[in-house]
Structure 1
């Protein structure tokens, strides 16, 4: 095989992804590598040179065992829907032609096929995986990727407004495995909004939970310090305390009580009897202090 994959994902998606079933059909033809171009919906932004070189050596020895999925463009050009990494490796290996599955796919089908093909890989970093899952969500909902997060949040708050869309999302993310779409949008989708230096650290292996904390910091120098601390073993809690240091506890009991009383949640959390007792005590304190 020329890549490490998780075929179980593709199997679970059978019948759910229109157009992607073509990935399992025999190669229809071969095309010159120079007639192909990267896909519009490729979730992967980075191809590690060492990984491409390893794949190129495998291609030289065994050829390309899984054809690329492409769709026709104008003037004899073709867009790679799935398989850009194999195409790049084929060029490094000196191949002039590659096996392809030629399909007429809509943008929605191409977007979904590209995302699913990448999600079957084991070496995706978190940024790439989040981008791919967001493409799946966008295609499932029929909205641009830039609008998918807002739509997911809206459906999470008011699922009754579009139960059919909720059912489609449940089925698609259930087939993909690992997390529900609700968990995805609440916990990991924000990775794509992180500053570039933090995203780069995630691509290099930084835990996304630590990245989300560091990403709150506006100052680039402070972010660099926190990224270094994370690389040296700082835990999520340690980073959280550095970004939001706990307020010192006042040794003055009057200040402590005053601070609690100004917090609306303090009185709101009391039952009726305790609230009346607090109000009586406050009245007594006011009488002791005299006129303001």
Structure 2
């Protein structure tokens, strides 16, 4: 790899390169370093015709050297001409450097996947850059936010006032634009931790909260939004308690009604809890008509006064209609059975 000294006047910046944001304070520090100890590593350029060169990477070093009035600088001259390879190399180099912002990364990835010159897939980028597909996708999701939010996005995870980290923004990425950016600005202003941002995002995704209510919530502070979320969750839990308590009672009533409607058809094996094991065993030596009589006596019970005054009064309209229908069916069945048993009694008395 050949390193040569090239006049700075013959070198041009690549305006199409991924990195375009340069921190002024960091640039001043770099100038001071170059002035004291010189350029520690060369920049990389490619030929651009007419004895000129275009930077592949090293824009900050170029800027600092030019501001110091340097006449030449050490350069590695690349022979690569494929635009795709050059752009990937620029991204890979910047990923190792401080100051490459999440938005610059996102725009670079988006460009590689959507620019007609490249049209890369996320899978291809992952393999070439050594980054997980989820990493690339999360970066691209940052582009869903408006410019006012993008300007606040910084690298790292430190929560700072009027700044936004990627972790703070990602829970909001799937919200409608009218909520997404407004909430992001509130979160930046109030320095909201990621755990609180997730609660706020969950509240704004909840379909039980009307759009008009969500619009009013945007006038609250971040901490007020978290308090609102807590109240909303507590109220929902309280509303769920009566429903949870009612479910077993309703199931018990349904079972009771089902048992009543099928009472005449109860089988012999179900009688053990009512008439006892000894009675069940005794039926083996009885005549069939006697067995039927004992079964009927065991299962047919008249309703108590408490049943009439408490349980029946608690039925809602739907339950009451079904209950009355089952009672009518039972009464008709018992009246028919009663006529038959009267005939049996008359036959037994005539013997």
**Residue 199 of structure 1: how far off its partner (Å):** 1.1
Alpha-carbon displacement from aligned partner over 1:162-213 (angstroms, at most 9, x marks no partner): xxxx5x655434xx3xx412x1344332223421111111137512243245
Q: Distance in 2 between matches of 1:242 and 1:93?
A: 54
Alpha-carbon displacement from aligned partner over 1:1-41 (angstroms, at most 9, x marks no partner): xxxxxxxxxxxxxxxxxxxxxxxx452x2222222222254
- Classify the secondary structure of the residue corresponding to 2:73: strand
Q: Distance in 1 between matches of 2:91 and 2:137?
A: 20
Q: Name structure 2 gaps, 5 residues minimum.
A: 156-162, 210-235, 244-317, 323-351
Instruction: Answer yes or no: is 1:121 the counterpart of 2:97.
Output: yes
More RCO (CA 8 Å, sep 6+): 1
User: Rg: which structure is higher?
Assistant: 2
Alpha-carbon displacement from aligned partner over 1:43-81 (angstroms, at most 9, x marks no partner): 112101111111011111122121111111133321100
Instruction: Answer yes or no: is 1:227 the counterpart of 2:219.
Output: no
- Classify the secondary structure of the residue corresponding to 1:188: helix
Instruction: Answer yes or no: is 1:218 the counterpart of 2:177.
Output: yes
> Match of 2:164?
206
> Match of 1:95?
70
**Greater share of helix residues, 1 or 2?**
2
> Match of 1:244?
205
Residues 258-269 of structure 1 aligned to structure 2 (within 5 Å) = none
**Residue 114 of structure 1: how far off its partner (Å):** 0.9
Q: Distance in 2 between matches of 1:113 and 1:243?
A: 41
> Match of 2:337?
none
For the 8 Å contact 1:70–1:80, the answer to whether it is kept is yes
For the 8 Å contact 2:169–2:184, the answer to whether it is kept is no
Alpha-carbon displacement from aligned partner over 1:233-286 (angstroms, at most 9, x marks no partner): 323224414643562559999xx9xxxxxxxxxxxxxxxxxxxxxxxxxxx88x
Q: What's the C-alpha RMSD, in Å, of the aligned pairs?
A: 3.8
Q: Name structure 1 gaps, 5 residues minimum.
A: 1-24, 153-165, 257-283
> Match of 1:188?
139
Question: TM-score normalized by structure 2?
Answer: 0.50
